[in-house]
Chain A
């Protein structure tokens, strides 16, 4: 059964993820929808470029700068959380969305648990492959733990202080933030 959750509910997973090759080995990228390691994309770009069924995945120590705005071509990008306590993936998510303009599916993979889903969503993830032992039915609740947030992030681009300002100004009968 699929362990894929999207922000609007459970979803079928049409993608397979290719593991990182053992040092120095070249891997054969299979046919069909496949998410390849960043290193494989960079190494085999000439061969893979023509395909529209290729996604890439970043490990937590890899840098979105390696793709830059070129990331926009992929229908899906995955970010691996090798341990749920490794917080680098949150920065990767925001950079892909906010700096490089990635608009398609951004999925969290690896050690993805329930209590981190809300933060992942705020950092731009809209798909999550929940770890096997976690109750997928509790994901929806965990994605919505908070109804408000102080900071600007991908899901809410105005920090609370700007929205408060607007409320205050509107109450004063003025129009702010055209």
Chain B
């Protein structure tokens, strides 16, 4: 994992001082609300319904155990003893005091953490596959490129006041897309060309929100060293020509659509022609330097399927279930990738207590080279667990509440904080998630249903990624009442698709029934081995409409 050098530390310490100065000037009345707004947003600070909300950056989802321990301490000293994993691999505090945020930043900086650009109309945290580096199906490890993008985008002087927020995601796995790159402002897919050279397939103009779009390919192959100059050209064209008159039409997806992808690409190429040879062009040495931080940890030579795994698996069905759902293969023999699920019924998806953060840190130290990854599905990953340790780890996870074996199942819900916390929300999302989790509490049934992504957002801003859920739920306001619109058929995978709206919205207490009807129709209609999304694609939305809206008898 990347470790700061003197330059990184100096820049971050300057930032802490700068934000302290800005906060003081705001509190002294020298900065108006309006003037302070983008400054605090670029430091992750929202003013919310009940208190400020503070979003701490977890660059491309990677954390060390010492950082988790510091976060735990911060939640105790400055908040109410818990934190929330977001859908962008970040961490949020829900109750900090504005005047204490500079102190929190100073505490974070000591462990090389920050809240840089976690909000605001700037380039946000670059995200990637949570299984990066341990996935056998991977062209190369995408994390060094994410780190290179992190450095380039941090306090970029030209792009601090873009028309709107700007999100970049990187994927390097040919067979999957856990980073959902096609619904990002820029999606980068690491590929090799016919000559075996490394580069990127570049997508632009994808996104969720009010106008969901799957991003088109802007360039089939961008050579590796040209990454930053090309990004600079792409963002510059957006900065100059993206709409600024209407916040709802300001994302790059609107520009790409208005110009057409071809014309946008031409403008980018024309801009790039001027700067492709500039000093911003990467060098092999610069890439090697960053790559060195992501070298493989000290793996042991081990065999797959050791007796310590096989015996308990044969003896314990719950353990076998957990292995099936929450444990994925590792590129190294004898290792496994373990997802800790934070989706226990009754706990808001993604919420963790301080003691749980410390527990995860301990587990990471003991089982996984002291590293942790945060996923955009709001779970946590220990990426380098020895297979012979899995049973022992599972026992410990059960005690801590991280072993709910529902990864990828209907109850592994992605859910934004919603109207319980967020000032933007039209409706609460957490109680809907809970009602659905309570209704579907039979694990055998859930396993039988198999992979279903259920995503809930409390408003159009789509933090819960409802558009790309196989089942999506969107909170809407109907004359002051909270209602929920359901969409079906979305996917954030390689076959990225925006879901179709089912029909008129529902009251909150109807939601568990509605999901039940949808799921039952799927069970009745599916062919053997057909996933929910495949059944939907085969039969379309009409049968679901008929079932859900048929008059009660």
Measured CB to CB, the residues of A under 8 A from B are 63, 84-88, 90-91, 94, 98-99, 113-116, 118-120, 122-123, 135, 141, 145-153, 157-162, 164-165, 168-169
Which of A99, A123, A135, A148 is the one whose CB lies under 8 Å from B157? A123
Chain A: minimal CB distance from B506 (Å) = 38
The answer to whether A159 touches B279 (Cβ under 8 A) is yes
B116-155, CB under 8 A of A: which get 1 and which 0? Answer: 0000010000000000000000000000000010011011
- In the complex, chain B residues whose CB is within 8 Å of the CB of A90: 157-161, 239
A165/B285 contact (C-beta < 8 A), A113-B35, A152-B279, A158-B279 known: yes
CA distance A41 to B373 in the complex (A): 57
CA distance A122 to B11 in the complex (A): 15
The answer to whether A151 touches B280 (Cβ under 8 A) is yes
Q: Say whether B393 faces chain A, with CB atoms less than 8 Å apart.
A: no
CA distance A121 to B11 in the complex (A): 17
Report which residue of A147, A148, A161, A164 has the largest number of chain B beta carbons within 10 angstroms of its beta carbon.
A161
The answer to whether A164 touches B161 (Cβ under 8 A) is no
- In the complex, chain B residues whose CB is within 8 Å of the CB of A99: 274
With both beta carbons as reference points, the residue of chain B lying nearest to A92 in the complex is identified as B240
CA distance A159 to B162 in the complex (A): 21
Q: Say whether B303 faces chain A, with CB atoms less than 8 Å apart.
A: no
Report which residue of B22, B31, B158, B282 has the largest number of chain A beta carbons within 10 angstroms of its beta carbon.
B158
Tell me the residues in window 323-378 of chain B with beta carbons closer than 8 Å to chain A beta carbons.
none
The answer to whether B240 touches A85 (Cβ under 8 A) is no
A164/B5 contact (C-beta < 8 A), A146-B15, A147-B14, A152-B279 known: yes
CA distance A106 to B371 in the complex (A): 48
- In the complex, chain A residues whose CB is within 8 Å of the CB of B159: 87, 90
Chain A: minimal CB distance from B152 (Å) = 6
- In the complex, chain A residues whose CB is within 8 Å of the CB of B236: 91
CA distance A23 to B285 in the complex (A): 55
- In the complex, chain A residues whose CB is within 8 Å of the CB of B7: 148, 160, 164
With both beta carbons as reference points, the residue of chain B lying nearest to A81 in the complex is identified as B161
Q: Say whether B39 faces chain A, with CB atoms less than 8 Å apart.
A: yes
Q: Say whether B438 faces chain A, with CB atoms less than 8 Å apart.
A: no
Which of A135, A145, A152, A162 is the one whose CB lies under 8 Å from B14? A145
A-B contact pairs, 30 of them (CB 8 A): A63-B240, A85-B38, A85-B121, A86-B161, A86-B244, A87-B161, A88-B239, A115-B39, A119-B155, A119-B158, A119-B160, A135-B30, A146-B15, A146-B155, A147-B11, A147-B14, A148-B14, A149-B155, A150-B155, A151-B152, A152-B279, A153-B157, A158-B279, A160-B7, A160-B151, A161-B282, A161-B289, A162-B279, A162-B286, A165-B289
- In the complex, chain B residues whose CB is within 8 Å of the CB of A159: 152, 228, 279-280
Q: Say whether B439 faces chain A, with CB atoms less than 8 Å apart.
A: no
Q: A87-B161, A119-B157 are in contact. List 9 more A-B contacts (CB 8 A).
A: A88-B244, A98-B278, A119-B160, A141-B21, A145-B14, A145-B18, A146-B11, A161-B289, A164-B5
The answer to whether B151 touches A150 (Cβ under 8 A) is yes
CA distance A158 to B280 in the complex (A): 7
With both beta carbons as reference points, the residue of chain B lying nearest to A121 in the complex is identified as B157
CA distance A123 to B148 in the complex (A): 21
- In the complex, chain B residues whose CB is within 8 Å of the CB of A151: 152, 156-157, 280
Measured CB to CB, the residues of B under 8 A from A are 5, 7, 10-11, 14-15, 17-18, 21-22, 25, 30-31, 35, 38-39, 121, 148, 151-152, 154-163, 228, 236, 239-240, 244, 274, 278-280, 282-283, 285-286, 289
- In the complex, chain B residues whose CB is within 8 Å of the CB of A135: 30
A157/B279 contact (C-beta < 8 A), A87-B162, A145-B18, A151-B157 known: yes
- In the complex, chain A residues whose CB is within 8 Å of the CB of B160: 87, 90, 116, 119
With both beta carbons as reference points, the residue of chain B lying nearest to A158 in the complex is identified as B279
Which of B35, B121, B148, B240 is the one whose CB lies under 8 Å from A88? B240
Secondary structure dominating the interface of A: loop
The answer to whether A148 touches B11 (Cβ under 8 A) is yes
The answer to whether B157 touches A122 (Cβ under 8 A) is yes
- In the complex, chain B residues whose CB is within 8 Å of the CB of A150: 11, 151-152, 154-156
The answer to whether B278 touches A152 (Cβ under 8 A) is yes
- In the complex, chain B residues whose CB is within 8 Å of the CB of A94: 158
Chain B: minimal CB distance from A7 (Å) = 14
- In the complex, chain A residues whose CB is within 8 Å of the CB of B18: 145-146
- In the complex, chain B residues whose CB is within 8 Å of the CB of A153: 157-158
- In the complex, chain A residues whose CB is within 8 Å of the CB of B151: 150, 160-161
Which of A91, A149, A162 is the one whose CB lies under 8 Å from B283? A162
CA distance A60 to B258 in the complex (A): 21
- In the complex, chain B residues whose CB is within 8 Å of the CB of A113: 35
- In the complex, chain B residues whose CB is within 8 Å of the CB of A119: 155, 157-158, 160
Chain B: minimal CB distance from A59 (Å) = 13
CA distance A160 to B10 in the complex (A): 13
Chain B: minimal CB distance from A112 (Å) = 12
- In the complex, chain B residues whose CB is within 8 Å of the CB of A160: 7, 151
The answer to whether B14 touches A168 (Cβ under 8 A) is no
Chain A: minimal CB distance from B280 (Å) = 5
Which of B154, B228, B244, B289 is the one whose CB lies under 8 Å from A168? B289
Chain A: minimal CB distance from B13 (Å) = 9
- In the complex, chain B residues whose CB is within 8 Å of the CB of A91: 158, 236, 239-240
- In the complex, chain B residues whose CB is within 8 Å of the CB of A114: 25
- In the complex, chain A residues whose CB is within 8 Å of the CB of B21: 141
Chain A: minimal CB distance from B377 (Å) = 30
The answer to whether B11 touches A149 (Cβ under 8 A) is yes
CA distance A6 to B410 in the complex (A): 60
Chain B: minimal CB distance from A130 (Å) = 13
CA distance A153 to B30 in the complex (A): 30
- In the complex, chain A residues whose CB is within 8 Å of the CB of B15: 146
- In the complex, chain B residues whose CB is within 8 Å of the CB of A85: 38, 121, 161
Chain A: minimal CB distance from B351 (Å) = 33
The answer to whether A161 touches B239 (Cβ under 8 A) is no
CA distance A90 to B25 in the complex (A): 24
Chain B: minimal CB distance from A15 (Å) = 25
CA distance A146 to B240 in the complex (A): 26
Chain A: minimal CB distance from B37 (Å) = 9
The answer to whether B157 touches A118 (Cβ under 8 A) is yes
- In the complex, chain A residues whose CB is within 8 Å of the CB of B31: 115
